[in-house]
């Protein structure tokens, strides 16, 4: 098996934790980071406390991963926060907080990892968007806008990094039952599901399927793509 | 930190040679006046990006300092520090010694 060194941001719980366990089970090395400590342990796993919106912390996290595993083959920019509110009731501080984590965090990690990947002449960056972007959901203006910025970054970075054999793609998951979505009223979630051609919640294995595809060695001709789940 | 300009120059020259060999960029000679950007320069803008990233890594490896070479200060200078090896060495000495 071709063992890869994978960095997963925001992996203390939810999709990030699931992907961490999934890739460790497949025999890869995983380096994770989150805003608080984790009690997760594995012989091929290392963790660092990091606020992804803090540029200095991101740099030291990437450096530590490189020291630990030698190279960074894959970056999964999973860390994200949501904010559900009418735009007229949204304070500026919320906008700043959401963009700091979702957009700045993805940018800082992409930039720092791409610098290491360039030296290795290969790499895979996978960003996380959301179906809220194409659906233009009311009440999710800030969250969807921050993820729309992530999509634009994905497409432009893909062009800028292509010559270094680094691919940059994004997945746009439908709602999956996680801490991020449990605060959303049930009726709202059902309304959202009704807008999808395939009307069901996403499962963790739907996400694995797409990240596996982007990571696969045979996907070296796939870059700048956003794959939405659920038929959007 | 107190780094001599001559030492930085050596680091840049040696990395430049390595980088050009790797990228198969023909380079007649490397000296203070070797142009990095502009007309008759070694790099186009993308080539310079790649070289700067490798230079940042090299400096970190040798001097254990983390610097951003192409920061706002560098980009807003009237005379670009990336013109040639001499100007880049001068700029880097300042950056490293400040850190």
ipTM confidence: 0.76
Q: Which of A178-187, B29-38, B74-83 has the lowest mean pLDDT?
A: A178-187
Please tell me the distance from the alpha carbon of residue A110 to that of residue A91, in angstroms, as a whole number.
28
B32 CB near a chain A CB, below 8 Å? no
Cβ contacts of A119 on chain B, cutoff 8 Å:
53-54, 57
User: Per-residue pLDDT tens for A33-73?
Assistant: 999 999 999 999 999 999 999 999 999 999 999 999 999 99
DSSP E strand boundaries for chain A = 5-9, 29-34, 45-49, 74-77, 123-128, 166-172, 226-228
A195 CB near a chain B CB, below 8 Å? no
Instruction: Give B84 to chain A, closest Cα distance, Å.
Output: 23
B50, A118: Cβ pair inside 8 Å?
yes
Of the candidates B25, B31, B17, the one whose C-alpha atom is nearest the C-alpha of residue B46 is B25
Judged against a pLDDT cut of 70, whether residue A1 lies above it is answered with no
Chain A, 73-112: which have a CB under 8 Å from a chain B CB? none
Structural domain containing residue A201:
5-228
Q: Which residue of B has its CA nearest to A120?
A: B54
**Interface A:B, Cβ pairs < 8 A:** 13
- How confident is the prediction for chain A on average, in pLDDT? 95
For residue A72, give every residue at least 6 positions away whose Cβ sits within 8 Å of its Cβ, in sequence order, or none.
Answer: A5, A7, A62, A65, A66, A113, A116, A117, A120, A123
Share of chain B above pLDDT 90, in %: 30
B46, A115: Cβ pair inside 8 Å?
no
pLDDT at residue A9 in the model: 98
Judged against a pLDDT cut of 90, whether residue A186 lies above it is answered with no
Count of structural domains, chain A: 1
Judged against a pLDDT cut of 70, whether residue A180 lies above it is answered with no
Query: Which of B57, B59, B68, B71 to mutate to test binding with chain A, by most A CBs within 10 Å of its CB?
Result: B57
Share of chain A above pLDDT 90, in %: 88
CATH number of the CATH domain containing A166: 3.40.50.720
Instruction: Give B15 to chain A, closest Cα distance, Å.
Output: 13
Helix H segments across A37-127?
55-69, 92-99, 105-120
Judged against a pLDDT cut of 70, whether residue A196 lies above it is answered with yes
Q: In what order do the strands lie in the sheet with A74-77?
A: A45-49, A29-34, A5-9, A74-77, A123-128, A166-172, A226-228
B22 CB near a chain A CB, below 8 Å? no
Q: What does pTM read for this prediction?
A: 0.90
For residue A229, give every residue at least 6 positions away whose Cβ sits within 8 Å of its Cβ, in sequence order, or none.
Answer: A131, A171, A172, A173, A174, A202, A206, A207, A210
Please tell me the distance from the alpha carbon of residue B83 to that of residue B71, in angstroms, as a whole number.
16
Question: How far is CA A126 from each of CA A73, A105, B96, rounded to the nearest angstrom?
Answer: 11, 13, 34
Judged against a pLDDT cut of 80, whether residue B40 lies above it is answered with no
């Amino acid at each position: 098996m071709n063992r890869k060194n994978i960095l997963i941001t925001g992996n203390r719980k939810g999709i990030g934790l699931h992907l961490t366990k999934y890739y460790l089970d497949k025999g890869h090395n995983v380096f994770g980071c989150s805003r608080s400590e984790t009690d997760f342990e594995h012989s091929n796993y290392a963790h660092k406390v990091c606020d992804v919106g803090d540029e200095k912390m991101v740099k030291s996290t990437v450096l530590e991963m490189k020291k630990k595993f030698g190279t960074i083959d894959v970056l999964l920019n999973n860390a994200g926060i949501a904010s559900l509110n009418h735009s007229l009731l949204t304070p500026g501080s919320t906008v700043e907080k959401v963009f700091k984590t979702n957009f700045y965090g993805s940018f800082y990690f992409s930039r720092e990892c791409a610098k290491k990947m360039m030296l290795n002449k290969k790499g895979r960056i996978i960003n996380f968007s959301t179906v809220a972007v194409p659906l233009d959901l009311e009440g999710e203006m800030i969250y969807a806008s921050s993820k729309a910025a992530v999509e634009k970054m994905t497409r432009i970075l893909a062009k800028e990094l292509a010559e270094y054999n680094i691919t940059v793609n994004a997945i746009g998951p439908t709602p999956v039952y996680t801490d991020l979505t449990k605060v959303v009223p049930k009726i709202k979630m059902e309304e959202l599901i009704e807008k999808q051609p395939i009307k069901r919640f996403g499962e963790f294995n739907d996400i694995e399927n797409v990240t596996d595809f982007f990571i696969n060695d045979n996907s070296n001709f796939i870059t700048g793509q956003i794959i939405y789940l659920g038929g959007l | 930190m107190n780094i001599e300009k001559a030492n930085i120059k050596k680091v840049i020259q040696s990395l430049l040679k390595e980088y050009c060999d790797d990228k198969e960029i023909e380079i007649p000679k490397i000296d203070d006046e070797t142009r990095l950007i502009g007309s008759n320069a070694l790099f186009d803008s993308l080539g310079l990006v790649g070289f700067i990233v490798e230079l940042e890594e090299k400096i970190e490896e040798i001097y254990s300092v983390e610097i951003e070479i192409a920061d706002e200060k560098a980009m807003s200078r009237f005379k670009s520090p990336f013109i040639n090896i001499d100007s880049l060495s001068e700029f880097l000495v300042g950056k490293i010694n400040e850190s």
